[in-house]
């Protein structure tokens, strides 16, 4: 029983604790991926965007080399985000500590999930210091109390939770592939103009039926955007989309909050792990909706963070959701939401570059109205929409499935970690969820 399990300091349960705080590596554009605090989110490591040179690796990692299965944890800004390393060779940045469970005593995968429990997170916060940003010293981290179940129970719990995470990761990879297919088709048709080039060279455009091919012209013409398919014109984004702003119900009125209406903030959009947003951190009531500037945004609208540190982050709403005033929603005027989303994915860099602000970049209505983009003929946009609709519908189904699995994982986690739920019962719940 859990009452008989030993309770030890974290340091007594580890074979390694690797801490690189106080050192700043020289970063490069390629080489060994650098795991920084900002890429450790939601129990996983996002794709690193920073690197160190391969020839600097040994000298930089003198305090210890991370191994497959090690747990990485952020020590501040934010505190307590964890993930597990795979087989890829990585370097560790500041504000990241690597933990390795003692062999045969504390399973590292079990430790990964243990650190995500409310009790462990509370311990981290209680030992942290700082007013603006919470951070924990290594000396305090070592004193965190750990209840250690029998090793087989640890492995059983970890196996169920990691299997769920593997299913979630597979769904995310599938969604990423489906979206990449849609984006590649958009690029082929509307950026590289491959069907037009094929017709200009008296070839049949690849991968499309005769009716769709007939919608593309046979030649190009000069425009303010350069050489474009004949008959296509430049326009602003607002010629193709309606721009919708949001609002926030009064926060001092409890009757506005906690209802059944999801309400998205810039945080929800910027921290979305998937391209479709289904759930939000906060919800509002019908009264909150009616007595504020917020409004319901249509399903499959593209939503962009318009101001703040994450300006330019964007998602598709996977359902009708309200939002606050730090975001803009764009709803297609042609009923081609996926074509609009693909175009905005390509234009977002230019929109952010055109933004302005004294502290943070701000995308305004004029940023959208002054944009110059190529607008294909409406029949072509509709044809594109028909081609990719099934891809995005599959992404929606996949996103809903992974949310169900994530909720199940979060429900099972404390029960498995504490020993309240054993392996057979947990496996039954998982099978019921995925059947």
Q: What is the CATH number of the domain that holds 364?
A: 3.90.220.20
Q: What is the DSSP code (8-state) at residue 204?
A: P
> Where in the sequence is the domain holding 419, given as residue range(s)?
150-196+379-435
What CA–CA distance (Å, rounded) separates 165 from 429? Answer: 15
Whether 411 is in a domain gets the answer yes
Whether 226 is in a domain gets the answer no
Query: Does residue 359 register a pLDDT over 80?
Result: no
Q: What b/e string do you get for 18-29 counting C-beta neighbours within 10 Å, with b at 16 or more?
A: bbbeeeebebee
Among 38-52, 237-251, 287-301, 381-395, name the one with the lowest average pLDDT.
38-52
Same domain, 396 and 310: no
Query: Does residue 358 register a pLDDT over 70?
Result: no
163: left (phi over 0), alpha (psi -120 to 50) or beta: alpha
Same domain, 343 and 416: no
Query: Does residue 424 register a pLDDT over 80?
Result: yes
Whether 211 is in a domain gets the answer no
The structure's pTM equals: 0.89
Same domain, 410 and 357: no
What average pLDDT does the segment 303-312 reach? 93
More confident residue, 149 or 93: 149
**Which of 351, 375, 399 is at the close of a domain?**
375
Same domain, 340 and 388: no
Whether 253 is in a domain gets the answer yes
What CA–CA distance (Å, rounded) separates 213 from 351? Answer: 31
pLDDT tens digits for range 216-244: 999 999 999 999 999 999 999 999 999 99
Query: Does residue 378 register a pLDDT over 80?
Result: yes
**Which of 325, 348, 375 is at the close of a domain?**
375
Confidence of residue 181 (pLDDT cuts 50, 70, 90): very high
Same domain, 190 and 269: no
Beta strands in 154-256 (DSSP E): 220-223, 226-229, 233-235, 241-245
Same domain, 132 and 243: no
Same domain, 144 and 154: no
What CA–CA distance (Å, rounded) separates 387 from 209? Answer: 11
Whether 185 is in a domain gets the answer yes
Q: Which residue, among 350, 351, 331, has the nearest Cα to 341 in the 3D structure?
A: 331
Whole-number pLDDT of residue 77 = 81
Whether 215 is in a domain gets the answer no
To which H or E segment does residue 141 belong?
helix 138-141
What CA–CA distance (Å, rounded) separates 101 from 110? Answer: 9
More confident residue, 209 or 355: 209
Same domain, 348 and 401: no
> Do 268 and 280 form a contact (C-beta atoms < 8 A)?
yes
Whole-number pLDDT of residue 267 = 93
pLDDT tens digits for range 42-78: 899 988 999 999 998 888 888 889 999 999 999 998 8
Maximum C-alpha span of the chain? 80
Whether 144 is in a domain gets the answer yes
Whether 36 is in a domain gets the answer yes
pLDDT tens digits for range 100-117: 999 999 999 999 999 999
Q: How many CB atoms lie within 10 A of CB 270?
A: 18
Same domain, 430 and 366: no
Same domain, 138 and 192: no
**Which of 110, 130, 148 is at the close of a domain?**
148
Q: What is the DSSP code (8-state) at residue 91?
A: E
Whole-number pLDDT of residue 84 = 97
Same domain, 354 and 411: no
Same domain, 357 and 427: no
- Angstrom CA distances, 134 to 19, 78, 240, stand at 17, 7, 45
Query: Does residue 25 register a pLDDT over 80?
Result: no
Whole-number pLDDT of residue 430 = 86
Q: Which residue, among 204, 231, 206, 208, has the nearest Cα to 219 in the 3D structure?
A: 231
Length of the chain: 435
Work out how many domains the chain is built from and give that number: 3
């Amino acid at each position: 029983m859990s009452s008989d399990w030993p309770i030890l300091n974290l340091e007594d349960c580890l074979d390694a604790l690797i801490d690189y705080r106080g050192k700043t590596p020289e970063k490069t554009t390629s080489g060994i991926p650098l795991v920084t605090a900002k890429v450790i989110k939601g129990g996983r490591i996002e794709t690193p965007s920073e690197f160190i040179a391969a020839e600097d690796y040994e000298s930089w990692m003198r305090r210890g080399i991370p191994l497959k299965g090690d747990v990485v944890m952020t020590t501040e800004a934010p505190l307590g985000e964890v993930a597990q390393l795979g087989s890829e060779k990585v370097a560790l940045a500041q504000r990241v500590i690597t933990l390795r469970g003692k062999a045969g005593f504390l399973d590292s995968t079990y430790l990964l999930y243990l650190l995500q429990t409310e009790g462990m997170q509370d311990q981290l916060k209680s030992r942290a210091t700082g007013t603006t940003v919470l951070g924990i010293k290594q000396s305090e981290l070592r004193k965190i109390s750990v209840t250690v179940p029998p090793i087989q129970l640890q492995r059983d719990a970890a196996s169920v939770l990691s299997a769920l995470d593997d299913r979630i990761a597979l769904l995310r990879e599938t969604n990423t592939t489906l979206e990449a297919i849609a984006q590649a088709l958009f690029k082929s048709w509307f950026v590289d103009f491959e069907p037009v080039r094929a017709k200009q060279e008296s070839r049949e455009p690849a991968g499309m039926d005769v009716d769709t091919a007939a919608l593309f012209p046979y030649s190009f013409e000069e425009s303010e955007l350069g050489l474009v398919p004949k008959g296509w014109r430049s326009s602003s984004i607002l010629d193709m989309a309606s721009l919708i702003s949001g609002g926030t119900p009064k926060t001092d009125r409890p009757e506005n909050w906690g209802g059944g209406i999801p309400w998205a903030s810039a945080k929800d959009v910027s921290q979305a792990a998937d391209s479709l947003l289904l759930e939000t951190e906060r919800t509002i009531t019908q009264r909150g909706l009616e007595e504020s500037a917020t409004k319901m945004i249509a399903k499959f609208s593209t939503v962009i963070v318009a101001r703040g540190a994450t300006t330019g982050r964007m998602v598709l709403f996977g359902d009708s959701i309200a939002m606050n005033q730090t975001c803009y929603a764009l709803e297609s005027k042609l009923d081609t939401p996926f074509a609009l989303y693909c175009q905005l994915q390509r234009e977002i860099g230019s929109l952010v570059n055109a933004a302005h602000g004294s502290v943070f970049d701000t995308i305004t209505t004029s940023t959208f109205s002054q944009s110059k983009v190529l607008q294909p003929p409406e029949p072509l946009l509709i044809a594109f929409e028909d081609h990719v609709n099934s891809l995005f519908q599959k992404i929606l189904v996949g996103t809903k499935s992974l949310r169900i699995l994530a909720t199940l994982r979060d429900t099972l986690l404390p029960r498995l970690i504490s020993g309240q739920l054993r392996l057979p019962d947990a496996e039954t719940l998982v099978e019921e969820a995925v059947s």
